Amino acid sequence: MQEYEVKYEKWLNDPVISKEDKEELRKIKGNEKEIEDRFYKDLEFGTAGLRGVIGIGTNRMNRYTVTKATQGLASYIIEKNGQDRGVAIAYDSRRMSKEFSEQAALCLNANGIKTYRFESLRPTPELSFAVRELGCIAGINVTASHNPPEYNGFKVYGEDGGQIVEPVDKEIIDKVNAINDFGMIKTMERREAEKKGLYHTIGENIDRRYLEELKKLVSNQKAIDEVQKDLKIVYTPLHGTGIMLVPTLLKELGFENIYVVPQQEKPDGEFPTVDYPNPEDPKAFALALALAKQKDADLVLATDPDADRLGIYVKDTKTGEYIEFNGNMSGNLVAEYVLSQKAQKGTLPKNGAIIKTIVSSKLTDAIAKYYHVKLFSVLTGFKNIAKVMRKLEENNHEYEPLFAYEESYGCLVGTHARDKDAIVAVMTLCEAACYYKQKNMTLWDAMLEMYQKYGYYRESQFSVTLKGAEGAQKIKEMMENMRNHPPKELAMQKVLEIGDYEAQVMLQTETGKQSPTGLSKSNVLYYGLENDAWCCVRPSGTEPKIKFYIGVKAASIENAQEKLKKLEDAMRQLAK
């Protein structure tokens, strides 16, 4: 009998598993492939904690896997004597999010740990803020971000408000893995938890404190006051948490022409109007763009279900068309705006810093150099950005983080949170739109001005999805093949540098010189090419995919697109 079959039978006979859940398992009896997929592994912490398809099994999101992870977290908190500091808990609009968040809270309460659970769905960045604001020892967010509706997730945050990183993640996982019987998982009734002062409900008070922190980051309230009447904004929360705060914040800042896409305004975990609730997917903008054309909007904004990612389209007044900004474009536009405003006002600190991931645009490097701010590059995952921010705090604020972003449509202005914040990104881009409108410029004009100033940097990415145990093995083989047989050139450009982040070594191909990456061990390969071009490949930490990233620099947009296409074709060949 295979190991997954043993696990399947164990769940069928476990007295803790409910009759309803056992019935779900009995329905797949005889379906070898389905049983294997549900039980061939346990859900593991990746770049964002637990994430998986909702259902019954060890490789699924359900009350057992969620509370097992929570019980492991509880053991860690008790070991650190952090019961009274408590845990902040938020959730999004997905299937089972409300239930999982409640089950997690009551598990912690049964272990004598205080919880502060939001009264209803809230954005991810507000959870990060709440952990810091309430002085909690940890945070939990039940969300699968932008994944399809069948997914959910369980993100764990540290006391700094950032997603957990090593060694804490490994310590918690060890506690989770020590639970070999669901009978070890504690719980209690909510009424009893409230009576004992363990279960607390939070909401509007934290909303106000969070929004007030964001307002402090506005550079040009005068620009907003003067031109907001001439600016039209279309916004969609894609059936998620953004609706809780985005319209409120914009209205409080003075914006009057805000049009929320009515079909996508209501939170709904089925995401009925989109195939994939991801602002990186142009199809998710179909309804928003239709409304934008009807209203003649300047800006079209979409936040993902947990409101940590932001996608935007900007009207080009010369053609009347709406131009899509990818995460690198919007991130660098925000970086340029924030730094330029501080430079103009004389408030740019001498120890200012920008943080980005290694798969994000090299345009950021040029911006940092121009404004004489320190640039930190980290591994993929905003938790690694948060890690740098924490270290800077611990080192007597050696550098002051002004802006951080990753190419996957997530950024952070300021230091109020330690995760991607689409709410502050919406605010800053709308403010920037007002500032540039005063100069008779759109955000697309501002982007073109940046390209003329720094060079035409363009990036793209693609991924190959390989599901199940066979897919996981195939991804492993692809990475091993590329690691053992590195290319000497890609798209007629020499490979000058190879970074193997698993071996933690950077190799200069012409000299053979090796140096440490300076970053944590990770299954990532990086190729630095001639003319500021680069490629990177890594398996996803949250989905059954292998991801490829490409970047180039050229003298014009057309030339950049041509170079990008050739390099992408070369990487697709490498992926075969």
Mean pLDDT of 346-354: 97
pLDDT tens for each residue of 389-400: 999 999 999 999
| Confidence label for 467 from pLDDT (cuts 50, 70 and 90) | confident
pLDDT for the residue 129: 98
Q: What is the DSSP string of 157-182?
A: E-TTSSBP-TTHHHHHHHHHHT---G
| Confidence label for 46 from pLDDT (cuts 50, 70 and 90) | low
pLDDT tens for each residue of 541-576: 767 899 999 999 999 999 999 999 999 999 998 877
Alpha-carbon distance 47 to 404, whole Å? 17
Mean pLDDT of 280-288: 96
Go through the domains of the chain in sequence order and give each one's CATH number. Answer: 41-202 (3.40.120.10), 223-316+432-454 (3.40.120.10), 456-575 (3.30.310.50)
| Confidence label for 45 from pLDDT (cuts 50, 70 and 90) | low
C-alpha distances out from residue 125 to 9, 390, 418, 421, Å: 40, 16, 8, 5
pLDDT tens for each residue of 153-178: 999 999 999 999 888 888 998 899 89
C-alpha distances out from residue 335 to 122, 338, 429, Å: 26, 5, 10
CA 432, distance to chain mean position in Å, is 23
41 with 59: CB under 8 angstroms? Answer: yes
**Size of the chain in residues:** 576
pLDDT tens for each residue of 119-159: 999 999 999 999 999 999 999 999 998 889 999 999 999 99
pLDDT for the residue 336: 98
Does the pLDDT of residue 43 top 90, yes or no? no
Is residue 198 classed as helix, strand or coil in its secondary structure? coil
pLDDT tens for each residue of 234-269: 999 999 999 999 999 999 999 999 999 999 999 999
Radius of gyration for the chain, computed over Cα atoms and rounded to the nearest angstrom = 24
Say which amino acid occupies 459. Answer: E
Q: Token pair of 70, please?
A: 């929570």
pLDDT tens for each residue of 79-125: 999 999 999 999 999 999 999 999 999 999 999 999 999 999 999 99
C-alpha distances out from residue 271 to 14, 165, 178, 430, Å: 34, 31, 37, 26
Alpha-carbon distance 377 to 406, whole Å? 10
Q: Using CA atoms of 75, 81, 85, 90 in order, give the dihedral in degrees to the nearest 10.
A: -10
pLDDT for the residue 542: 67
Q: Parallel, antiparallel, or unpaired: how do β-strands 50-53 and 151-157 relate?
A: antiparallel
pLDDT for the residue 153: 96
Alpha-carbon distance 302 to 350, whole Å? 34
**Active-site residue (options: 145, 340, 377, 408):** 145
Alpha-carbon distance 140 to 74, whole Å? 12
pLDDT tens for each residue of 312-342: 999 998 999 999 999 999 999 999 999 999 9
Does the pLDDT of residue 47 top 90, yes or no? no
Does the pLDDT of residue 42 top 70, yes or no? yes
Q: Parallel, antiparallel, or unpaired: how do β-strands 456-465 and 258-260 relate?
A: unpaired
The neighbouring-strand residues paired with 235 are: 260, 301
Mean pLDDT of 446-450: 97
pLDDT tens for each residue of 489-522: 999 999 999 999 999 999 999 999 999 999 989 9
Identify the weakest region by mean pLDDT among 277-281, 430-434, 467-471, 565-569: 467-471
pLDDT for the residue 544: 85
Q: Token pair of 107, please?
A: 């598990």
66 with 43: CB under 8 angstroms? Answer: no
Say which amino acid occupies 360. Answer: S
Q: Parallel, antiparallel, or unpaired: how do β-strands 87-91 and 115-118 relate?
A: parallel
Residue 78 CB contacts under 8 Å (≥ 6 apart), including other chains: 111, 112, 113
Q: Is 367 exposed, middle or buried (0-12, 13-18, 19+ CB in 10 A)?
A: buried
202 with 116: CB under 8 angstroms? Answer: yes
* Mean pLDDT over each residue of the chain, to the nearest integer: 95
pLDDT for the residue 468: 84
Our answer to whether residue 145 is catalytic in this structure is: yes
Q: Is 79 exposed, middle or buried (0-12, 13-18, 19+ CB in 10 A)?
A: exposed
C-alpha distances out from residue 126 to 122, 134, 207, 245, 267, Å: 7, 12, 8, 10, 17
Q: How many CB atoms lie within 10 A of CB 566?
A: 17
